[in-house]
Amino acid sequence: MNYPNGRKGVSQRSSKQGKTQATFSNRGMTLEEDIALTNDYYRHANIAIVHKNPTPIQIVNVDYPKRSAAVIKEAYFKQASTTDFNGVYRGRYIDFEAKETKNKTSFPLSNIHQHQIDHMRACEAHGGICFIIVKFAIHEEVYFLPAAKLFWYWNDQFQGGRKSIPYDHMKVEGELLPFHYQARVDYAAALDKLYF
C-alpha cells in the first residue's frame, strides 16, 4: 500500500513457511514524524490539540548570498529544551517525550535528561499528564509509559539500580501502541485507558 504522499505503507513479506506477515520496516518514518502525523489527525478530527515544541536556538552567523538563499552558519542552543510535545486532550494538559532505541533488550535512561524529568514532575504537580513514548526499532513496537513509572526507574538508577528500562518490563508496565493508518501512534487510546 502506498500513501498519497508517495511513502511506502505496510508491506507484505512472505516467511519460509509461505505465510504472509505484515512489516512496518519500509515505512521510512521516524517516531517523531509518526507522532506529528497522528497529531495532525487528532487536530483535524477534533480529538486533541498537540504540538511539537521547537528547540530554542540563538542564531549567531548567517550567510546572505541573496535573501531567498540565507544559510545559518552558526547557532547555539539558548537553553535546555523541555519535552518534545505538549497540548490539551479532554481538557487536560499533556506533555511527553518521544524516544527511539535500536537496543534490543532495554531502553537506556541516558536518552532522558534530568531537566526533562524535572519538567515532567512540575507539570504533574500542577495536574498535567506526562509520559514518554518509546519505540523499540528492532521489535517495531511502540510503548506508552506514564511518567510515574519512568520516575521510579529514574530514581532507582541513583540507588544502585539499572540505568535502563528492560524491554520485558516495558512490555508489562507500558501500553503497546499498535500502528494505525490515521492515528499512527494512537496515544489517545492509552490516555483513555489510564486516565479517563
Q: Phi first, then psi: give them for residue 51, nearest 5 degrees.
A: -130, 155
Other CB atoms within 10 A of residue 124 CB: 18
**Has 12 been labeled as part of a binding site?**
no
DSSP string, 137-194: TTTTEEEEEEHHHHHHHHHHHTTT--SEEEHHHHHHHSEE----SSSTT-HHHHHHHH
Query: Is 23 known as a binding-site position?
Result: no
- Are 107 and 136 in contact by the 8 Å Cβ rule? The answer is yes
Query: Is residue 116 part of an annotated ligand binding site?
Result: yes
Query: Do the annotations mark residue 84 as ligand-binding?
Result: yes
Alpha helix stretches (DSSP H) within the chain: 31-44, 114-125, 147-157, 167-173, 187-195
Placement of cell 537553553 in the chain: 79
Binding-site residue numbers for Mg(2+) are 82, 84, 97, 116
Binding-site residue numbers are 82, 84, 97, 116
